[in-house]
Amino acid sequence: MKKYLPCLLLISSTCFAGDLGINYGLGLDGPEITDVKFFSASYKEPWVNDIIYYKGEIGFWADSKSNGLTRNSSAFGSGSVGVEIRNETFYVSDYFGLAGITATDNYTSSPYEFQTDLGLGFKDSKTKAMIGAEFKHFSNAGIVGPNLGRDFITIKVQVPFL
């Protein structure tokens, strides 16, 4: 145990200074909202000058209907890098990264997907908590067909970890 203690102290002092986030939302099929449910939890930290961040996220979507296409529910894990611009009351963000999913279908036909997130919202100047809306897109960029992609619109709540 003694040999692992310095590693644990180093990890705990560097890895837990970021923000914890929760997303909940619904799927999009073009302009229409679908019954696909989305949930995720994320952790992000500033990387460069409190503008560029890296984010880890785990979650799932639950798809209960089929419209003639093969559609599945899936869990995912992702890592992404993005730009987040904040002031005392507002934020806007754009992230891009790689995701692994557990179930493929006609929308996401590869277990390896690209993930794009676009968000905007409000920040409480006292608590630094944020609430906003986020658009999420999963796609394999046409590497494996078919590749319709998955789109979600979510509500995001984010709080500082420490």
SS3 content of the chain, % helix, strand, coil (to 5): 5, 60, 35
Q: Tell me the pTM.
A: 0.84
Domain count, the chain: 1
What local confidence, expressed as pLDDT, does residue 72 receive?
Answer: 77
Distance between CA atoms of 26 and 31, rounded to whole angstroms? 12
Residue 35 lies in a domain: yes
CATH number at residue 97: 2.40.160.20
User: 35 near 65, Cβ under 8 Å?
Assistant: yes
- Mean pLDDT of the chain, nearest integer: 86
**Has residue 100 got a pLDDT over 70?**
yes
What gap in Å lies between CA 11 and CA 107, rounded to an integer? 38
pLDDT-derived band at 31 (thresholds 50, 70, 90) equals confident
Place of tokens 């994320």: 42
The verdict on residue 2 lying in a domain is no
Please give the backbone phi and psi of residue 149, each rounded to the nearest 5 degrees, phi first. Answer: 80, 165
pLDDT of residue 8: 43
Q: β-strand 74-86 against 19-29: which pairing, if any?
A: unpaired
Residue 29: band (very low, low, confident or very high) from pLDDT cuts 50, 70, 90:
confident
Residue 6 within any structural domain of the chain = no
Q: What percent of the chain has pLDDT over 70?
A: 85
Mean pLDDT for the stretch of residues 133-157: 92
Q: N- to C-terminal Cα distance for the chain?
A: 26
9 located within any domain:
no
| Full residue range of the structural domain in which residue 78 is found | 15-160
How many other CB atoms are there within 10 angstroms of residue 25's CB atom? 21
Residue 33 lies in a domain: yes
Per-residue pLDDT at 162 exceeds 50: yes
131 domain-assigned: yes
Residue 40 lies in a domain: yes
Would you say 111 and 97 are in contact if contact means Cβ atoms under 8 Å apart? no
In a domain, 92, yes or no: yes
pLDDT tens string 47-79 = 988 899 999 999 999 987 655 555 678 999 999
Higher pLDDT, 9 or 127: 127
